[in-house]
Amino acid sequence: MTKTWIFRSVMIALVLVGAWTLIDMNKSMQAKDSQGAVQVPKAPYKVATFAGGCFWCMEPPFDKLPGVISTTSGYTGGKEPRPTYEQVSRGQTGHTEAVQVVYDPNKVSYSKLVDVFWRQIDPTTPNRQFVDVGAQYRTGIYTHGDEQKKIALASRAALEKSTRYGGAKIVTEIEPAGSFWAAEDYHQNYYQTHAYKYKFYRFNSGRDQYLEKIWGKDAVHK
């Protein structure tokens, strides 16, 4: 057993431990209330909630932004408490797959988050995002307070006036945020923990091909 082999083994172990630590930190950033719903974080951090189809695909673009503290995949927009992935994926609960973003407003603005959101989705198709079909994949911006609502509505109005979608109506809903339920652990950071499966799914979903057509290559965040 050489020193080089030992050194490499130790370094690999440290990298793996560090990666899992970051994942655990990411998930623990979101406290839950007595019902199990995720709570809004305390100042100075704020939270933003977006639905853009498969939540696996919505974490990476926000995680890459300086000022984003954590992202959590989950479910919102329905009435039933503690929904499971099986229930939501069957369209039984009224929820949509969503991602909740905890961010530092001193480092990244809500306007920036909204702009990144639009660049990940097809806002012209109701109850569907690419290969995923059903109301559980509808797009939405779920606002936390009047300021977020004002920014989201203005941003949608600007897109509607543009020619980017060839005159197609934007159907992305903008509603006050309700309860957000974190998805099962295996869904969190899926693009990191199941990188090969994630890349296979994403490529075959048609998402990136669409985004490149609408926004150009620079706007695609994998």
- What span, in angstroms and rounded, lies between the C-alpha atoms of 121 and 115? 11
- Span between the terminal Cα atoms of the chain, in Å: 39
Ramachandran bin of 130, using left for φ above 0, alpha for ψ from -120 to 50, beta for the remaining angles = left
**Which residues are within 8 A (CB) of 89 and not within 5 positions of it... i.e. 6 or more apart?**
134, 136
For this structure, is 57 an active site residue?
Answer: no
Rounded (10°) angle between helices 207-215 and 195-205: 60
Catalytic residue among 38, 54, 121, 151: 54
Most distant CA pair in the chain, distance = 67
Active site residues per annotation: 54
